[in-house]
Amino acid sequence: MANYVGISPTTPKCVPTDLPILENHPLFIRDYNLCIGCTRCIRACRDLRGIEALGFVYDEKGQAQVGTLGPTIEDSGCKFCTACVEVCPTGALMDKSVRPGKKEEDIVPCKEACPAHIDVPGYLRLIAQGKRDEANAVIREKVPLPGILGRVCIHPCEDVCRRGEVNEPVSICALKRYAADGEKGLWKKNVKAGNDTGKKVAIVGAGPAGLTAAFYLRKQGYAVTIFDGHAELGGMMRYGIPSYRLPKDILDKEINEILDLGVEFRPNQTLGRDVTLDQIKNDGFDAVFLGVGAQLSRRIPLEGSDLPDVLWGVDFLRQVAEGEDIHLKNRIIVVGGGNVAVDVALSAMRCGANDVTMVCLEGREEMPAHEWEIQGVLDEGVRLMTSWGPHKIVSENGQITSMELVHCVSVFDDQCVFNPSFDDSKEKIEGDQVVLAIGQASDLKFLEDKSQISVDKGLIVVDEDTLETGMKGVYAGGDVAAVPGAIIHAIAAGRKAASSIDEALGGTGDIEEVLFERDAPDQHIGRDEGFASWPREKIPELELKARHQGFQEVALGYDDEQAIKEARRCLQCDLRLYLESNPSPPEKTLIFNEENINQVPEDEGVFQLYDDEKKVISIKGTGTLRQSLLEALDDYENAAWFDFEEDKMYSQRESELIQQYLQEHGEMPGGGDDDLDDLF
């Protein structure tokens, strides 16, 4: 290995010992037994990255070895860029979680986890440099709704952020919002609708999937028309997400930027009632995308659920969004453990309820709502009862008085299928109104009984790669074709559908774009003391006492100083992808000619001769290397290459080389001819 790497001959030889293997570092393992002191890691850390966390140190026995310059890797100033791992040739430094063949996905997992594959390190780096508008342009290369996502995205990127293994993940979602809220229009300079193709595409549903598909198809040159059953665009973003999470002005701004490209909107057009799929196709549309979402409340049979004071989650949120005058009673029971139930509970508090209790089948750690949403509910004073299910709604004279609950011992069966089981424990909680928020469903009544579009478990069946349904030219995506997910999943589906439709209508299917030209990032990131312990920057929020006075936005967002500080916490994992692979060792063989032979020292050693295919034809030890090679130049007409080693014990070394050749090839060098004088 030392010969392969080409380290100095004066480097001490590796002596196998029982040295420690350090596995407690974030991101990588260090095995001191495999270190050959080549100093590649030191040079990468010092010269390439400008961090200087590694160097030669002395162990407890006074032996010099490569190690951290502080007591721990964190104290040494390590920024966990793992450049040292990339350049290590022996495995002394090894990644903990990079799979073979999955290097890019595992080294930059934030980008891979994002359904739209936004260049997360790229825009965080720009924010850290104070380039807010440029960061927004990078985000918009993949999504048309960055300000919306920056507020309501479930941010799977943060779940896999490698900074989380050091202390806390980077606040990627909040930084997306920061970039979007500060945009000055840089991204628009490179956004243009393509040449008119003469073809038309209908988008049914104005939610995130439909809006995204419309955005990219219009830019490809198609005439795009959006049909929706509501008076305004946005789908569940407008009618299902309360404005304390997603203000309507942000929603309107980003939707209008899509319409400004020349997208037509036909409101109050409910599919199956006001317009049919056949009518749309007969109207000259060359393709149709169904992005109707899941806008119905899922129903369950429950005693008392037909009482006037029983509401359903999605319907309640829609009434709130449309500004209906909702008169809630004092004590509200919300049944459900998902994000819709959370929004219902918090909206109820803002609509005048004083006592709100959330009841769900799941234990706290199993709840489908995200942890930060659950914590927000608790912060605002909502009571949470986990592992309880509704048994019946109790009433007197048509007025709800309480709900009887039954204890849930498990939500899923042994096959991980939703199949709740209960014991005999029961409990009754008082309440005046009940809101059942137990899930969503798509309204598929527009599909005829003999439709070519298939449905399975309430979802439209689509081709996984193209999103085309069983009806040619009709595509579907988002919650209508997949288990209800999040806005980012719907956006990813809209992108995929736009690409597929473009290709089907004669285009290339390439919807990728560059809205901000950028060079390869600087490999020098510099040293920052205490970097490993930098805490996640807390997102400013509206005071608790002010939240129930209306639907003002709760999360207030970062200011410039906070955003730059948080963005600088990024490990910039993607920098490693710009490093070239470890170079191959220098070619040892030389062309077998007099000029090269005259450069060989007249010393003891061993030389090897090779033919044109670099197969060994002779191994010979000699006391005079140069003279013997000059003689061989006349004797071996088929020799094309040679190499040599200076060795005082050349007879031993040539024997070793011959044995090595025999073991590898099963014959003597030169094909095993009879004249072996040159070998001994």
DSSP 244: T
* Proportion of the chain above pLDDT 70, given as a percent: 95
Look at 199 and 10; give whichever has higher pLDDT: 199
What pLDDT sits at residue 18? 79
Cβ 348 vs Cβ 337: under 8 Å: no
Calculate mean pLDDT across residues 198-217.
96
Label residue 680 by pLDDT band (50, 70, 90). Answer: very low
Look at 416 and 87; give whichever has higher pLDDT: 87
Using the CB atoms, write b or e for 169-202: b if 16+ within 10 Å. Answer: bbbbbbbbbbbbbbbeebbeeebeeeeebebbbb
What pLDDT sits at residue 58? 77
Query: Which residue bears the tokens 């004249």?
Result: 675
Per DSSP, the residues of 334-385 read: EE--SHHHHHHHHHHHHTT-SEEEEEESS-GGG-SS-HHHHHHHHHTT-EEE
Judge residue 270's burial from the number of C-beta atoms within 10 Å of its C-beta, 0-12 exposed, 13-18 middle, 19 or more buried: middle
What pLDDT sits at residue 199? 95
| Widest distance between CA atoms in the chain | 117
What pLDDT sits at residue 677? 46
What pLDDT sits at residue 10? 66
Q: What is the pLDDT of residues 600-658, one digit of tens each?
A: 999 999 999 999 988 999 999 999 999 999 999 999 999 999 999 998 888 888 888 88
What pLDDT sits at residue 35? 87
How many degrees, rounded to 5, is the angle at CA 556 between CA 315 and CA 552?
A: 40
- Domains of the chain as residue ranges with CATH: 2-103 (3.30.70.20), 111-154+167-188+535-568 (no CATH), 192-295+448-504 (3.50.50.60), 296-441 (3.50.50.60), 590-679 (3.40.1440.10)
Q: What is the pLDDT of residues 143-159, one digit of tens each?
A: 999 999 999 999 999 99
Q: Please check the confidence at residue 44 and state whether its pLDDT lies above 90.
A: yes
β-pairing verdict for 590-591 and 641-646: antiparallel
Separation of alpha carbons 153 and 150, rounded Å: 6
Q: What is the pLDDT of residues 253-295, one digit of tens each?
A: 999 999 999 999 999 999 989 999 989 989 999 999 999 998 8
What pLDDT sits at residue 16? 65
How many degrees, rounded to 5, is the angle at CA 462 between CA 459 and CA 467?
A: 125
Q: Please check the confidence at residue 113 and state whether its pLDDT lies above 70.
A: yes
Separation of alpha carbons 305 and 162, rounded Å: 47
Look at 504 and 413; give whichever has higher pLDDT: 504
DSSP 161: -
Separation of alpha carbons 602 and 608, rounded Å: 16
Report the sign of the C-alpha dihedral through residues 615, 620, 626, 628, in that order. negative
Calculate mean pLDDT across residues 574-582.
86
Task: With residue 41 as reference, give the H or E element that holds it.
Answer: helix 40-43
Look at 91 and 7; give whichever has higher pLDDT: 91
Q: Please check the confidence at residue 679 and state whether its pLDDT lies above 50.
A: no
Any bridge partners for residue 424, and if so which?
none
Average per-residue pLDDT for the chain: 90
Look at 310 and 16; give whichever has higher pLDDT: 310
Q: What is the pLDDT of residues 288-333, one digit of tens each?
A: 999 999 888 888 889 999 999 999 999 999 999 988 888 889 999 9
Q: What is the pLDDT of residues 391-450, one digit of tens each?
A: 999 999 989 999 999 999 998 888 888 888 999 999 999 999 999 999 888 888 888 766
Q: Which two tokens stand for residue 428?
A: 């009754």
Instruction: Return the half-sphere exposure (C-beta side, CA atoms, 13 A cut-off) of residue 351.
Output: 24
Using the CB atoms, write b or e for 401-437: b if 16+ within 10 Å. Answer: ebbebbebebbeeeeeeeeeebeeeeeebebbbbbbb
What pLDDT sits at residue 446? 87
**Cβ count near 613 (within 10 Å):** 7
Separation of alpha carbons 414 and 87, rounded Å: 46
Residues contacting residue 637 through CB under 8 Å, at least 6 positions apart: none
Query: For the ranges 53-62, 386-395, 535-544, 557-566, which has the lowest average pLDDT?
Result: 53-62
Calculate mean pLDDT across residues 560-584.
90
What pLDDT sits at residue 673? 53
Cβ 137 vs Cβ 516: under 8 Å: yes
Cβ 271 vs Cβ 227: under 8 Å: yes
Residues contacting residue 123 through CB under 8 Å, at least 6 positions apart: 135, 136, 138, 139, 175, 176, 179
What pLDDT sits at residue 24? 87
Q: Please check the confidence at residue 587 and state whether its pLDDT lies above 90.
A: no
Separation of alpha carbons 395 and 235, rounded Å: 35
Residues contacting residue 665 through CB under 8 Å, at least 6 positions apart: none
Read off φ and ψ for residue 593, nearest 5 degrees.
-145, 170
Separation of alpha carbons 637 and 176, rounded Å: 70
What pLDDT sits at residue 110? 96
* Proportion of the chain above pLDDT 90, given as a percent: 69
Q: Which two tokens stand for residue 248?
A: 């309507």
For 638-676, give the secondary structure using H, E and C.
Answer: CCCEEEEEECCCHHHHHHHHHHHHHHHHCCCHHHCCCCC
